[in-house]
Structure 1
Amino acid sequence: MKHILTSLCLLLLLACTGPQQQSSKQQQSFYQSMSSLCGQSFSGKVVFPADGKDPFAGAPLMMIMQNCSDSTIRIPFIVGEDKSRTWVISKTAEGLQLKHDHRHEDGTPDEVTMYGGMASTSESELEQRFPADAYTAELLPAAATNEWTLALSPDGKTFSYILKRDNQLRFRADFDLTKPLE
């Protein structure tokens, strides 16, 4: 009986840690792929909404892969002349975290900053999804159902930043990884 109980406990432990370890491997691989782009800048364009009604539509978009370390990648996201946005991908004890760091021109934090979430379980090394966390829901109640996706295309040519709200696509920008900017 003692051996059966021990075996059941071990099986339960394996069942609880298996997917998390797999997800962790996927997150580590995604992080490494993103880190490999460090020091480069890429132009992008709004893909959705395609009707041009998004305030970013028509503005030049650029992401700069900078400030990469073993635990954090900071990616300034520039829209036209507006340099107020930075995506921050961090490794934490719970997994990958995405935060949106918004700053004023003088560098002080915006009132609405550091919203985002933790990566959910992923079966892909190319894509990570970040549902809104409790801080985001408190800071921006309308964003409580947000899910941000960061994705690398299978051919390695495109990086996509995708926002869904209430499970509906709200925004997508694609960046061309084949032509780093000078």
Structure 2
Amino acid sequence: MTYRSHFFWLLPGAILLAGCGDAAPDPAPGDAPTEAAMPADKEAWLANLRAPCGQAFPGQLERAPETSTMLQGEELLVVYFDVCEDDEIRLPFHIEQLDGEWDRSRTWIFRPTDDGRIELRHDHRMPDGSEDEVTWYGAWTIAEGTANQQEFIREDQEWEDGMTRGWRVIIEPGVRYVYGTIRDGEWNWRVDFDLSEPMPEPPPPAWGYEDGGGPPR
């Protein structure tokens, strides 16, 4: 018996077995997965965040708990609106310390998601560009915001005190940019930047972002 005769001997059985099951229905046009539309408040907020692109602005510490040792309150703070793409906005956060040395370890990263939210990530780097032990933490928007304010709430962890934790970011082009942590909706730690007049020149790249480095896009 040749290969061809074997094939035709098996074919009727294959057809019979195929007919024993329920045929899968053809997918309806509406069954295809679609991306959720970005809500108007978040579209407007992202547009405002892109507005100062290419400019850097000075800021200062406005609020910190007594236990915080990150800033003393007299440092020069700089936010640089560096990358302002449709799929990612990067804001390096530079700190001129009291000894005159610069800390360029932090970059705030905002990304719109396919389900209509905005994701906030913190990229922390060492001076040699390698990742810090604590990095890439963040959260997503979970509620309606405004064109000027969005909140990113952590839902991945339960806290002993029962408080909700996250971040609040305010952007008013030409006026101010505010970033800080919140607990149960109240400011816990906060830095404010004056957007009324940009600095003469942008700062050097954040650590790890030299020559186009940084996280995958």
> What's the TM-score, normalizing by structure 1?
0.76
Report the counterpart of residue 59 of structure 2 in structure 1: 44
Root mean square deviation of aligned Cα: 2.8
Q: Which residue of 1 aligns with 2:129?
A: 107
Please, which of 144, 150, 168 is the counterpart of residue 122 of structure 1? Answer: 144
Q: Which has the higher contact order (CA 8 A, sep 6+)?
A: 2
Residues 113 and 133 of structure 1, relative CA distance in 2, 3 Å threshold: farther
Residue number in structure 1 paired with 2:207? none
| SS at structure 1 position matched to 2:39 | helix
Match of 2:77 among 35, 44, 61: 61
Instruction: Kindly indicate whether the alpha-carbon contact (under 8 Å) linking 1:116 and 1:133 is maintained by their aligned counterparts in 2.
Output: no
Residue matched to 1:32: 47
Q: Cα distance 1:74–1:141, how it changes in 2: closer, same or farther (>3 A)?
A: farther
**CA separation in 2, counterparts of 1:61 and 1:102?**
16
What does residue range 71-150 of structure 1 map to in structure 2 within 5 Å?
Answer: 71-80=87-96, 81-94=102-115, 95-134=117-156, 137=157, 145-150=164-169
2:181 to 163, 171, 175: 163
Can you give the 5+ residue segments of structure 2 that lack an aligned partner in the other structure?
1-35, 97-101, 201-217
Tell me how far apart the structure 1 counterparts of residues 186 and 121 of structure 2 sit (CA, whole Å): 20
TM-score for the superposition, normalised by structure 2: 0.64
CA offset at residue 133 of structure 1? Answer: 4.3
Amino acid at match of 2:75: A
Compare 144-153 and 98-107 and name the one that shifted more: 144-153
User: Which consecutive aligned stretches of 4+ in structure 1 deviate over 4 angstroms post-superposition?
Assistant: none
More helix by share: 1
Give the letter for the 1:150 counterpart: V
Q: Deviations over 1:78-105 (max 9, x none)?
A: 1111000000000111311111110111
1:106-147: CA deviation from partner (whole Å, max 9, x where unpaired): 11111111111111222411101001242xx49x999x8421
Q: Distance in 2 between matches of 1:40 and 1:141?
A: 41
Rounded Cα–Cα distance in structure 2 between residues aligned with 1:37 and 1:168: 27
Aligned residues: 157
- Contact 1:120–1:128 (8 Å) recurs in 2: no
**Larger relative strand fraction:** 1
The answer as to whether partners of 1:85 and 1:100 remain within 8 angstroms in 2 is yes
Identity %: 29
| Residue 174 in structure 1 maps to residue 192 in structure 2 | yes
